[in-house]
Every structure is written in C-alpha cells, then in structure tokens.
Amino acid sequence: MKPSLKILFADDDIKYALLLKDFLTHNGYNVTYAGNGRIALDLFNEIKPGLVLLDVNMPEMNGFDVAREIRAKDNKVLIFFLTDRSDKNDRLKGFQLKGNDYLAKPFYPEELLARIEERLGNPSETNQKIYKIGNISFHYTTNELITGNTKTIITSRQADILRLLAENINETVSRELLLNKVWGTDNYTNSLALNVQITYLRRALQSDKSLRIVSVVRKGYMLSVG
C-alpha cells in the first residue's frame, strides 16, 4: 500500500506541472500545486507537506530562496529540486541548502516516483529487486549500476530496458516486447529510440568486459553474460 504523503509542488510551467501532478496523484500521493515560489511559501505552513518539489527557475522567488526559507523553520521536510540547469555549482548550492535530491529536466515521471519511494523506504515490490549482472549490481529503484566503489546512473527508460534483459540473461528479448513494455507502443519512432538507448546501455556496462548486449537480427536483444 502506498504511504500517505502530502506533496507541495511549485513550478511556473503550468502545462508540465499539471501533467506531473496528475501522475503523482494517480500513484497515490496528495499533491498541492503552486504556480510560483511565493505562493509555495505561503502554502507551506497551511499544508504541512512531507515533500516539497521546487523548480529552481521561478518568478518572484526562485526554488533556492524558497528552500532557504523553508529550512529556516523545518529541517525534516524532504526537498527535491527540479531544474533544467545542470551546472555543478547549482547542484552544490541545492545540497548546501540541505536539499534531499536534485533532478535535471527533462526526466521521466517514473524516475521521480522511484526516488520518492526510495526516500520513504517503501519502494514497490517490482522496484525492490537488485539484479546481479556479472560484476555489476543493478539497482532498479535508483537507476544505479554499481561495480565496487564505482557508481553509474542510467535513465529510468534505460533501467526499464535493462531490467527486461536482466530477467532473461542469455535469452533473446524481442523488440516488440521491449517497445511495448517500455514505451507502450512499437511504432517506428520508438524503435529508433530503442536503438539509441541500447547504445547508451552498452557504454554503461563497459566496466564488466564479460557483459554484452547482443543484437539478434530480426528478433531483438540479448544480455550475454560470460
């Protein structure tokens, strides 16, 4: 059962924000939307959320300023920064303000959901499993590939692809299955996108030379181990 959590979500991109709000609401969360930072700050005391999602670039009051005000009165609430700014200094500033996570746009809603569930310590049953692939531990929940002390982060879509391959090691997984499970449809555009994501996954798995993602002509892909 999904844990009860109130989320305060501040982002001035209304169209994008309402889509993400609907996604989180559909997954069992109570989400209140604020169109800018000043409104979010005004709503904070009223809502008493467990998580605050803050876009960094907002009019009147940016996400960093909102976080600073919130942290002055509450050290426990979770704060996630959502931003199209991926500069290292911005990330450091976010964490200096005691932000709990920092997601660079664009990201998949499923990635945000997985990070929320990880913080709550109650990921869904599907997300809990850790896959051992050669010398790599693949953590589906957090999109992490861990080899010794080295950690590589992949996207949520890449994680979905890799999970299907990891559950069928040394067996061919059809293109149709991958496309329908990951994208929801096997059209031509998504088929090209699958090729690109496989290329990224091959690079991400390079730390273990015993692993290969093999293209099986006219059939699909196979994760070969050994």
According to DSSP, the β-strands at 6-10 and 51-55 are parallel
User: Three-state DSSP class for 57?
Assistant: coil
**Both structure tokens of 202:** 């091959």
- Note whether residue 45 is domain-resident: yes
Same domain, 79 and 172: no
Say yes or no: 11 and 104 in one domain. Answer: yes
Residues 63 and 18 in one domain: yes
pLDDT at 124 over 50: no
Rg (CA), the chain: 19
CA 206/CA 15 separation, integer angstroms = 39
Same domain? For 61 and 93 the reply is yes
| Res. 94 pLDDT band, cuts 50 70 90 | low
Task: Please tell me the total count of domains within the chain.
Answer: 2
The answer to the question of residue 1 being in a domain is no
Task: Note whether 157 and 151 are within 8 A (CB).
Answer: no
**79 and 148 housed in the same domain:** no
Of the ranges 61-70, 83-92, 184-193, which one carries the lowest mean pLDDT score? Answer: 83-92
Per-residue pLDDT reduced to its tens digit, 200-216? 999 999 989 999 999 99
Q: Which of 89, 120, 151 lies at the terminal end of a domain, its last residue? A: 120
In a domain, 171, yes or no: yes
| Residue that is last in its domain, among 87, 120, 153 | 120
With a cut of 60, say whether residue 26 has pLDDT above it: yes
pLDDT at 93: 66
Amino acid 2: pLDDT: 46
pLDDT for 144 beyond 60: yes
Secondary structure (3-state) at 110: helix
Q: Which domain holds residue 200?
A: 129-225
Interval 140-163 mean pLDDT: 87
List, in sequence order, every residue forming a beta bridge with 79; answer none if it has no partner: 52
Together in a domain, 156 and 209: yes
The per-residue pLDDT of the chain, averaged, comes to 86
Query: Mean pLDDT over residues 98-118, rounded?
Result: 84
| Residue 86: predicted pLDDT | 57
Return d(Cα 44, Cα 134) in angstroms, integer: 47
> The domain spanning residue 72 has which CATH number?
3.40.50.2300
Helix (H, G, I), strand (E, B) or coil at 101: strand
Looking at the structure, do residues 55 and 138 belong to the same domain, yes or no?
no
Is the pLDDT score of 123 beyond 50?
Answer: no
**139 and 206 co-located in one domain:** yes
Q: Do both 65 and 27 map to the same domain? A: yes
Q: Is residue 59 part of a domain?
A: yes
CATH number at residue 212: 1.10.10.10
Letter for the amino acid at 68? R
Residue 4 has pLDDT above 70, yes or no: no
29 plus 73 within the same structural domain = yes
Query: How far apart, in Å, are the Cα atoms of 137 and each of 111, 168, 169, 207?
Result: 18, 16, 14, 12
Q: Which of 68, 92, 120 is the last residue of a domain?
A: 120
Q: Is 148 helix (H, G, I), strand (E, B) or coil?
A: coil
Give the C-alpha separation, 101 to 87, whole Å. Answer: 15
Determine the Cα–Cα distance for residues 33 and 12; give it in Å rounded to an integer: 10
Q: Which of 195, 190, 161 is nearest to 178 (CA)?
A: 161
* Secondary structure (DSSP) of 163-179: HHHHTTTTSEEEHHHHH
pLDDT single digits (tens) 30-68: 999 999 999 999 999 899 999 999 998 888 898 999 999
- State whether 16 and 105 are in the same domain: yes
Let me know if residue 18 belongs to a domain: yes
Residue 181 has pLDDT above 80, yes or no: yes
Name the pLDDT band for 183 (thresholds 50, 70, 90).
confident
Q: What is the pLDDT averaged over residues 10-14? A: 93
DSSP calls for 185-226? ---HHHHHHHHHHHHHHHHHTTT-TTEEEEEETTTEEEEEE-
pLDDT for 1: 36
Give CA–CA dist 108/95, Å, rounded. 22
Confidence category of residue 96, pLDDT binned at 50, 70, 90: confident
Q: What is the mean pLDDT of residues 113-133?
A: 71
Residues 184 and 136 in one domain: yes
pTM tops 0.85: no
